[in-house]
A and B are shown apart, each in its own frame.
Chain A
Amino acid sequence: MDLSAINPILLVAALMSAATPILLAATGELVVERAGVLNLGVEGMMIIGAICGFAIAVETGSPTIGFVAAAVGGALLSLLFAFLTQITLANQVASGLALTLFGLGLSALLGQGYVGIKPPRMPDINFGPLADIPVLGPILFSHDPILYVGLLIVAVVWAVLKFTRVGLVLRAVGENHDAAHALGYKVVRIRTLAIMFGGACAGMGGAYISLIRVPQWTEGMTAGVGWIALALVVFASWKPWRVLLGAYLFGGITQLQLNLQGAGVAIPVEYLAMSPYVITIVVLVILSADKSAAPGSLGRTFHASS
């Protein structure tokens, strides 16, 4: 065992990259849940994003177009969920599970020709001399653009929810859909848009795994990240900045256990690989005492006649 092989600066830099898929997916889901919809299909939308992004990036040679395609793919899949829960008024838990099962199958089907291919690499942003600052340089200024896009999305979501009329309407729909409907807001339309935003974010998160983190395509490669993202929204009490904190915490754990595996710690690999899931459970237990932050209409079906 050689713990000195773990460089703390590189660890923190890698942690930010490890956290980005969770961060993107969780921020999207946060918006969906603030609108009062519980979409358990995050895992399915992520894996669809992963394969759409991968396939399009390979075909076009451009990772940027790949990420756009991933967002579109995730949003399209989420439209299925929106149709089920908003138009046909199906149970949200069941529909979310259906979305995940369907997404996993569909991604395996789409990804058949792409196993074992290397995708085009997305270059890091060149910050010039900033990247040479000791400690801060490698941590803050040596990443790919999508990582910064993720941070930007968190900031925008926070600002929109807190300071704008759109955010207020979205929260009103999530807190009490009957009251929002009575005020004349289009509950179904607003929720559908929120669901699509969530799908697009999850799709980009998935593509981040297949294009930047891993980078290759294997079946079921998201391996529960979508579910961790769902847990993270609860952890964050539905607040954007706490999602960021949580994502970095989980990213840190994921990265640390990978580094420990690499350093050859005496703990067997399987037990290290379990740790992110176990820690998710522990965190959920600690934080689930306080449910007051949950949007009032979360998971409830809305029908205008009732």
Chain B
Amino acid sequence: MVRFEKRPQPSRLFAYATPLLAVLATFFFGGLLFAALGKDPVVSIVTIFWEPLFGEFSFFYRPQLLIKGAPLVLIAIGLSLGFKAGIWNIGAEGQYIMGALVGAGVGLAFYPTESVLIFPLMVLAGALGGMLWAMIPALLKVRFGTNEILVSLMLVYVAEQFLASMSLGLLKNPEGFGFPGSRNLQQYPSAHNAEIIAGSGMHCGVVAALIAVIFAYVLFARHKLGFAIRVTGEAPRAARFSGVNPSRLVVFCLGASGMLAGLAGLFEVSGPAGQVTIDFNVGYGFTAIIVAFLGRLNPIGIVLAGLLMALTYIGGDIAQSQLQLPAAAIQVFQGMLLFFLLAFDLFTNYRLRFGRSEVA
């Protein structure tokens, strides 16, 4: 007879071991999936996880790691604030889109003026755009008790439609020969989020992600607000008695995560993506949910998880062109990772006992 017994304290060992176990299990079952698709599982895994880092063309792929990892880390850091407190913002994708739209809109409004002030202004606008979009679920929750999960998610679909309307209408490139999509910000120096060191992948978004990680680390380790977030997540009633204002916490967590998602969107649209198009967003807002959980809602963990997820994107692209592995297989792979993580997490809070339970 196997049963689970609740641990008096969560196991520290398993808290760290769970993500590793989950990754190993995903390698195994992912390999089975690739085999089922008629690909050599070992070759597939090597192509996805080894080629981009140490393969022949790694000089090309390594910068990509930063480019793809930065938005994931930036968004996931924001999400982790809320998730820790039991405030579920799952509409980061929408906030990402709105940040990009507002930021790019500000930049395009100045075209073709050149000034060093334009890019900082765009960054502010992007942050504000994402934050205001996240304020909708926040204020509705505080004022009316509306479920923030559903509202933030509904707003993703609204934002996607808004994006379509903007890239076909207001923000459309007047010199674009009728093609949908805005002017290319990469060709507008004042608004271009260029790489700080050319060829390194290091753009302003990467710097912003690092700053966010440091801020989040200090917040949780040293600041009273971080404590309030943790207590609210673990024991809401105790948090109330210790003087935490739940409404303020909702506004802060959703606002901060919206802001970071908006920033991620702006850095993406003004840098790697270059222009506002109907589908410039590639689902970072949803993948960041996996990143936040895989990183155990811990800032350092999120950096590692973000890089791993970025790797699956890059490796997935390589596997797609070299092995004709379908893009959706990578999506399944990422989803599997979250499943195994949640399943193995059982051992953090419970221990396995063999033998019959005694009658109390």
Q: How far is the CA of A281 from the CA of B156 in the complex (A)?
A: 12
B158 and A274 form a contact (CB under 8 A): yes
Q: CB within 8 Å of B: which of A85-130? A: 88-91, 93-95, 97-98, 101-106, 108-109, 112
Q: Is the CB of A101 within 8 A of B335?
A: yes
How far apart are the CA atoms of A244 and B88 in the complex, in Å? 28
Are A281 and B350 closer than 8 Å at their CB atoms? no
Given contacts A90-B346, A104-B331, A274-B157, contact A285 B165 (CB under 8 A): no
Cross-chain contact A281 with B169 (CB below 8 angstroms): no
Task: Report how far A228 CA is from B169 CA in the complex, Å.
Answer: 28
Known pairs A101-B334, A271-B161; A277 contacts B154 (CB<8 A) = yes
Name A274's closest neighbour in chain B (CB-CB). Answer: B161
Determine the distance from Cα of A277 to Cα of B338 in the docked complex, in whole angstroms: 27
Q: Do A285 and B140 touch (CB < 8 A)? A: yes
B145 interface residue (CB < 8 Å to A): yes
Q: Does A164 sit at the interface, judged by CB under 8 A?
A: no
Q: A88-B345, A305-B5 given as contacts; is B335 within 8 A of A105 (CB)? A: yes
- As a 0/1 sequence over residues 346 to 359 of chain B, the CB contacts with chain A under 8 angstroms (1 = contact) are 10011000000000
A32 at the binding interface (Cβ < 8 Å): no
A214 at the interface (CB under 8 A from B): no
Residues of B near A89 (CB, < 8 A) are 4, 346, 349-350
Decide yes or no whether A215 CB sits under 8 A from chain B: no
A101 touches B349 (CB 8 A): no
A270 to B345 Cα, complex, angstroms = 42
- Whether A306 is near chain B, meaning CB under 8 Å from some CB there, is yes
> Which of A91, A103, A223, A273 is B342 in contact with, Cβ under 8 Å?
A91
CB distance from A282 to the nearest CB of B (A): 10
Given contacts A105-B334, A281-B151, contact A303 B6 (CB under 8 A): yes
Most buried by A among B146, B147, B149: B146
Residues of B within 8 A of A45 (CB): none
The minimal Cβ–Cβ distance linking A86 to chain B, given in whole angstroms, is 11
- A278 interface residue (CB < 8 Å to B): yes
Stretch among B211-219, B248-256, B286-294 lining the A interface: B286-294
CB-CB nearest in chain A for B357: A305
Which single member of A223, A224, A268 contacts B165 (CB below 8 Å)? A268
- The prevalent SS among residues of A at the interface is helix
Q: How far, in angstroms, from A134 to B34 measured CA to CA in the complex?
A: 57
Q: Is A284 an interface residue (CB 8 A)?
A: yes
Known contacts A101-B290, A303-B6; decide if A277 and B157 are in contact (CB<8 Å). yes
Residues from chain A with Cβ under 8 Å of B343 in the complex: 83-84, 88, 90
A209-229 CB contacts (< 8 Å) to partner B: 219, 223-224, 227-228
Contact of B293 among A80, A94, A223 (CB under 8 A): A94
Contact: A234 with B150, CB < 8 Å?
yes
CA distance A134 to B295 in the complex (A): 62
Is the pair B342, A291 in contact by a Cβ cutoff of 8 Å? no
Bound complex: CA A255 to CA B141 (Å):
29
B336 to chain A, nearest CB (A): 7
Task: Please tell me if B109 contacts chain A, counting CB pairs below 8 Å.
Answer: no
In the complex, chain A residues whose CB is within 8 Å of the CB of B289: 97, 101
Known interface pairs A98-B342, A285-B140, A289-B144; A108-B328 also in contact (CB < 8 Å): yes
Within 8 Å CB of B151, what residues of A? 281, 284
Q: A237 at interface (Cβ–Cβ under 8 A)?
A: no
**Closest partner residue, chain A, to B343 (CB atom):** A88
Q: Which of A98, A109, A285 contacts B329 (CB 8 A)?
A: A109
- Determine whether A288 belongs to the interface, using a CB cutoff of 8 Å to chain B: yes
The answer for the CA separation of A73 and B169 in the assembled complex, in Å, is 41
Q: How far is the CA of A230 from the CA of B152 in the complex (A)?
A: 13
Partner of B346, one of A88, A93, A230, A278: A88
Q: A105-B334, A224-B154, A268-B169 given as contacts; is B88 within 8 A of A93 (CB)?
A: yes
A271 CA to B158 CA, complexed, in Å: 8
Measured between C-beta atoms, what is the minimum distance from B69 to chain A in Å? 19
**Complex alpha-carbon distance, A306 and B162, angstroms:** 48
Chain A stretch 274-304: residues in CB contact (< 8 A) with chain B: 274, 277-278, 280-281, 284-285, 288-289, 291, 303
Report 22 cross-chain contacts, Cβ distance below 8 Å, ordered by A residue. A84-B339, A88-B342, A89-B349, A90-B346, A91-B342, A98-B335, A101-B334, A102-B335, A105-B328, A105-B329, A106-B332, A109-B329, A231-B150, A268-B169, A270-B161, A274-B158, A278-B154, A280-B154, A281-B151, A284-B147, A303-B4, A305-B6
Q: Given A102-B339, A104-B335, A108-B331, output 6 extra A-B contacts at Cβ < 8 Å.
A: A90-B343, A90-B345, A98-B290, A109-B331, A268-B169, A280-B154
Q: Which residues of B contact A (CB under 8 A)?
A: 4-6, 88, 90, 136, 140, 144-147, 149-151, 153-158, 161-162, 164-165, 168-169, 286, 289-290, 293, 326-336, 338-339, 342-346, 349-350
